[in-house]
Each structure stands twice: as C-alpha cells, then as structure tokens.
Amino acid sequence: MLFSILLLIHFIAFAFYVGYLALLWPVKGKGPRSKAGFILGMIILLTGILMVMMIYPNVNYYKVVPKTAAFLVVTVIYIFFEKKELTTTAYYSLIGLTLLAGCIAIFH
C-alpha cells in the first residue's frame, strides 16, 4: 500500500512538473519563475529513491539509473539558474530530460 501511495505521489508530481514546464513555453523559461519546478523535481527524485529502496533488490536498474541521472541533471540546472533566467538551451534541456525520463518509465 505504501508503495502505491508513493507511486501516486510520484506520478502526480511528474504531471504537475510537465504542466509547469508547459506554462513556461510561451517565454521559453524566461521571465519570472517560482520555486515550484525545483520543489516538484525534488519530490520526484525523493519518491523515486524511496520506491527503489522499497523494492530492493528487485530493481530494474536499466530504468532507475538513467531516470535518476536525468533528474539529477534537472536539479543541477535549477540550482545553476536559481538567480538567473533560464536560457533557451536550458529550457529545452529541462523538457528533453523530463520527456526522456517519462519515456524510460513507460517503455519496457
């Protein structure tokens, strides 16, 4: 039951994060941003780590390692651009890494 709750939180946070990136689409990440993207990214990362800890040692490493690496890069981008506006390259990197992680999650 706890795993299912974590999975639901993970999915909802991911959906909200994709929506957050979509809201930034007209300006490609430039302009005012909130901490929502960083917070949602951390929720995704932490719930993912907790789910892996719950199912260890039966972990699909071929999925977990690339997804975790992608969201660590997303976190680094947010930390780097904390006080600055996102560049177009950084914005597209966030979208690309997010969609890549989503695709890794759904494909076997």
Asked if 17 and 35 count as a contact pair (C-beta separation under 8 A), the reply is no
For the whole model, what pTM was predicted?
A: 0.79
Asked if 72 and 91 count as a contact pair (C-beta separation under 8 A), the reply is no
Gap between the Cα atoms of 89 and 103, Å rounded: 21
Task: Domain of residue 92: give its range.
Answer: 2-106
Query: What's the length of the chain?
Result: 108
Tracing tokens 């780590």 back to the chain, one arrives at: 49
pLDDT tens track for 28-55: 666 656 778 778 878 988 998 898 888 8
Q: How many domains does the chain have?
A: 1
Confidence of residue 15 (pLDDT cuts 50, 70, 90): very high
